[in-house]
């Protein structure tokens, strides 16, 4: 499927990120369309986080361009339009949920008189209503990561970059989160969600399959299955790895078996 430049929220051209002397991410071209959920799937250490950091504009890149909403990634006007959730819950443990969100809402420019309403809104969005006054260090891991998500939702960003938001959560919570993501996309928000749990592919409108810093596929789930002739994402992924190896990319036998976990907590 071809996407015109104007529809793409994220446009990447020739991106190279180098660390310790070798390329950790190398993406010749990529466009992420607006208003849908794009899943970035791949094993731990394949470069998902680095790619996301490049899009948010906090990653030092060795070459190429990354544009978000038509502006270079990291440009100051983008900072209030992108919500970014890192893998670790990046919130203040020694503040309450509401205090955390109030601060982040102020930072993204929510006006003082709208602060309370905004904090209430995002707390309701991540279903943490009973815990608004609880200190973050008294919450469970799953609740903490929802606080972190809520902190990215303040100020209604147009693009959400979520790094493994469902890791370690119980299945009910994971389903709830994906429902939230779907609702946000229906409201016109663009979501880029990474996961190393292949089951979650079915929740996404589009899939980016990544391994060893390279994109193996950029397609819908049916598209990926059809082009590989497989029944499930994991087999499709393995087929793509084999094809890439046959085409002279990397050694196909390095650490493949440790690549995936099925829905298990980290």
Partner 1 sequence: MSVRLTLATASRVLRQVRHDPRTIALLVVVPCVLLGLLAWIYDNTPVFDQLGAPLLGIFPFIVMFLVTSVATLRERQSGTLERLLAMPLGKGDLIAGYAVAFGVLAAVQALAAAAFAVYVLGLDVAGSAWLLVLVAVVDAVLGTALGLFVSAFARSEFQAVQFLPAFILPQFLLCGLLTPRENLPDVLNTVSDVLPLSYAVDAMRAVTVDADATGDVLRDLLIVLGFVVVALALGAGTLRRRTA
Q: What are phi and psi of 187, to 5 degrees?
A: -80, 0
Which one of the spans 58-66, 216-224, 248-256, 258-266 is the region binding partner 1 (CB under 8 A)?
Answer: 58-66
Interaction of residue 60 with partner 1, rule CB under 8 A: yes
Encoded tokens for 140: 């469970």
Residue 147 or 244: the one with the smaller Cβ distance to partner 1 is: 147
Which positions ≥6 away from 177 have C-beta within 8 Å?
146, 149, 165, 166, 169
Interaction of residue 113 with partner 1, rule CB under 8 A: no
Q: Token pair 């994991």 is at which residue? A: 234
- Are 158 and 70 within 8 A, CB to CB? no
Residue 92 or 158: the one with the smaller Cβ distance to partner 1 is: 92
Interaction of residue 16 with partner 1, rule CB under 8 A: no
Please write down the HEC assignment for all residues of 4-25.
Answer: CCCCEEEEEEEEEEEECCEEEE
Interaction of residue 156 with partner 1, rule CB under 8 A: no
Residue 191 or 236: the one with the smaller Cβ distance to partner 1 is: 191
Which one of the spans 85-93, 187-195, 207-215, 233-241 is the region binding partner 1 (CB under 8 A)?
Answer: 85-93
Residue 137 or 170: the one with the smaller Cβ distance to partner 1 is: 137
Interaction of residue 47 with partner 1, rule CB under 8 A: no
**What ranges make up the beta strands (E) of 149-245?**
159-162, 190-195, 206-211, 214-219
Interaction of residue 132 with partner 1, rule CB under 8 A: no
| Closest CA relative to residue 34, chosen from 187, 202, 261, 196 | 187
Interaction of residue 35 with partner 1, rule CB under 8 A: no
Cα separation, 261 vs 200, whole angstroms: 12
Interaction of residue 232 with partner 1, rule CB under 8 A: no
Interaction of residue 19 with partner 1, rule CB under 8 A: yes
Q: At what angle do helices 171-186 and 141-153 cross, to 10 degrees?
A: 10
Q: Which residues bind partner 1 (CB under 8 A)?
A: 19, 56-60, 74, 76, 79-80, 82, 84, 86, 88-95, 99, 103-104, 106-109, 135, 151
């Amino acid at each position: 499927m071809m996407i015109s430049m104007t529809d793409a929220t994220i446009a990447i051209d020739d991106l190279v990120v180098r660390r310790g002397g070798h390329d950790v991410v190398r993406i010749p071209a990529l466009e992420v369309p607006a208003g849908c959920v794009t899943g970035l799937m791949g094993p731990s250490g394949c470069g998902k986080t680095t790619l996301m950091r490049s899009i948010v504009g906090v990653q030092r890149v060795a070459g190429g361009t990354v544009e978000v909403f038509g502006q270079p990634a990291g440009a100051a006007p983008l900072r209030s339009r992108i919500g970014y959730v890192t893998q670790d819950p990046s919130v203040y443990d020694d503040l309450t949920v509401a205090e955390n969100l109030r601060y982040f809402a102020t930072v993204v420019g929510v006006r003082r008189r709208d602060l309370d309403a905004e904090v209430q809104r995002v707390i309701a969005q991540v279903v943490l209503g009973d815990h608004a006054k609880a200190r973050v260090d008294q919450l469970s891991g799953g609740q903490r990561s929802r606080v972190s998500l809520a902190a990215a939702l303040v100020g209604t960003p147009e693009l959400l970059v979520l790094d493994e938001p469902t890791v370690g959560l119980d299945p009910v919570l994971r389903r709830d989160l994906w429902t939230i993501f779907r609702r946000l996309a229906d409201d016109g928000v663009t979501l880029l969600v990474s996961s190393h749990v292949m089951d979650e592919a079915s929740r996404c409108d589009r899939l980016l399959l990544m391994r060893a810093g390279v994109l193996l596929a950029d397609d819908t789930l049916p598209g990926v299955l059809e082009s590989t002739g497989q029944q499930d994402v994991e087999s499709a992924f393995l087929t793509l790895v084999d094809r890439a190896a046959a085409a002279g990319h990397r050694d196909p036998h390095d650490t493949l078996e440790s690549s995936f976990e099925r829905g298990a907590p980290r």
